Amino acid sequence: MPTQDTASDERYRAVRSRDARFDGQFVMAVRTTGIYCRPSCPARTPRRENVEFFRTSAAAHAAGFRACKRCAPEAVPGSPEWDVRGDVAGRAMRLIAEGVVDREGIEGLARRTGYSPRHLTRVLGEELGAGPLALARAHRAQTARALLTQTELKVSEIAFSAGFSSVRQCNEVIRAVYDMTPLQLREQGRRTSGARAPSHGRPGHDAARPASLPRPAVQRNTSRNATLSSAADFGEVDLALSYRAPLDLHGLFVWFAVHAVEGVEVGTATSYSRTLRLPGGPAWLRVYRRGADELRMRARLTDLADLPALIARVRRLFDLDADPLAVDEALSHVPALRPLVAARPGLRVVGSADPEETLIRTLIGQQISLAAARTVLGARTREMGEPAPEFAPGLSHMFPTAAAIAEHGERFLRGPAARVRAVLGAASAVASGELSLSPGDDAAQQRAALLALPGVGPWTADHVRMRVTGDPDVFLVDDGALRAGAQRIGLPGDKKALTAWAQSAAPWRSYATTHLWGPLTPPATFDESEQP
């Protein structure tokens, strides 16, 4: 549905100034042309009376508008609103990005959000102007567009990779949204590659691969039941990852390097690689910086239909849909945080690539050093994790499943008895289905479910909530490193007083938490001179 008049006036001012900070947060539809654009579209600004605004591109599609061919409004980071909001609309949008509608239908989405399909459709229609099917269709179109303009995959492969049920359906949706056939869209991407100005003066959009660069050879396997026998039995893609500048990439890569579990992850000064389980089978991914600030992902998948879910997980892991200018501006008004924000503009809160893995790692890593946690996790992975697929270069294992830990953990887990019981209890709850963690969880309900587990306290529950749901307003006051960081800048170390102070950082207390932890020291093997 169109936005309200007051908000529309503010959005029209953003359009007149071509403010790229608003790209992805709403779209502008022009009644006289029947197209919709991103706020920073370079075309002549239409008259106010000819314009209406929509929260999502899906709502614009439903109202009969087509995407602008010049500004490509689908090629921007997602709205940060869906990461901030904990209501049913925000939760549903995160699950749709994960491909839940494609795999489980509206019924599965409704079940995960705790609503009936009819009620969920009504809520999303009222909030976002489009129901779950239309929102999922728009997401498929965006994925297909990225694959068409950045890879040499066949249209038939792209159709199923993006979540369409048939090539015909893919062709129809692409034509309806972009007013082009898939092949015309691919050709347009080749012609305009590298010509579009990036958001904030940086390559922060899903631009096509520059024509002067060779395209990667693409290997494929779209069978969900495929057996991986060689390096040729996988689907490989290389895609740009959009984001809003600034982005503290150095801080992110240091964080991943310091926390990397041997055999599962590798972190360097310019990249992060890992193995990962997806619905269709194991995958390998490498997120890397190219040039000064372009961020890309190369991935190898058992099933290319898992690509939308993988992209969604990586975006959450790197917090790429955040609005760093809004966060930094708000935290800069907190006197104690102002110098920290100035020192690390564009700081992100690391998310979760695998919720159950995040829970197990959090429990095992409690009250021990990072180095000790890495040693323990590496050993347990070698003992209980499955071998990595052959197509995962430099990595040897998958992180152990909850089922494997529940079955074999009593034999292999070491440490205080209470911690071992907590890990075994959590793994058993996940393996049995008693506990299910996802980015679409209601934050309060997830916290309550975690606290109900033996040995899980507030710090663990809140840490998992911050990583898995992307809640931007979690303050880990029980964290010793946080309190030490607070005292270093003159804040009280007392938990009650520090909690009261943290109110000034709301609703961005997860970012305040990360700032107070301070920058991590890179590992000895971290090569600062490494070239992208």
Q: How many angstroms separate the CA atoms of 347 and 359, rounded? A: 23
Q: Which of 37, 41, 71, 170 is catalytic?
A: 37
The burial of 494, by beta-carbon neighbours within 10 Å (0-12 exposed, 13-18 middle, 19 or more buried), is given as middle
Q: Is the dihedral of CA 392, 395, 396, 398 positive or negative?
A: negative
- Inter-residue contact 220 to 235 (CB < 8 Å): yes
Q: How many CA atoms lie within 13 A of 25 on its CB side?
A: 21
Q: Which of 238, 442, 479, 494 is catalytic?
A: 479
Q: How many angstroms separate the CA atoms of 311 and 98, rounded? A: 8
Q: Is 479 a catalytic residue?
A: yes
Tokens of 134: 């239309």
Partner residues linked to 288 by β-bridges: 271, 296
Please give the order of strands across the beta sheet that includes 51-54. 51-54, 27-30, 35-37, 66-67
Residue type (1 letter), 381: T
Q: What are phi and psi of 450, to 5 degrees?
A: -70, -45
The residue behind tokens 């200018």 is 325
H-helix or E-strand spanning residue 341:
helix 338-343
Axis-axis angle for helices 324-332, 509-517 (nearest 10): 70
Q: Is 37 a catalytic residue?
A: yes
Tokens of 522: 């890179």
The burial of 45, by beta-carbon neighbours within 10 Å (0-12 exposed, 13-18 middle, 19 or more buried), is given as middle
Distance between first and last Cα of the chain:
43
The burial of 198, by beta-carbon neighbours within 10 Å (0-12 exposed, 13-18 middle, 19 or more buried), is given as middle
Q: Point out the residues that are catalytic.
A: 37, 479
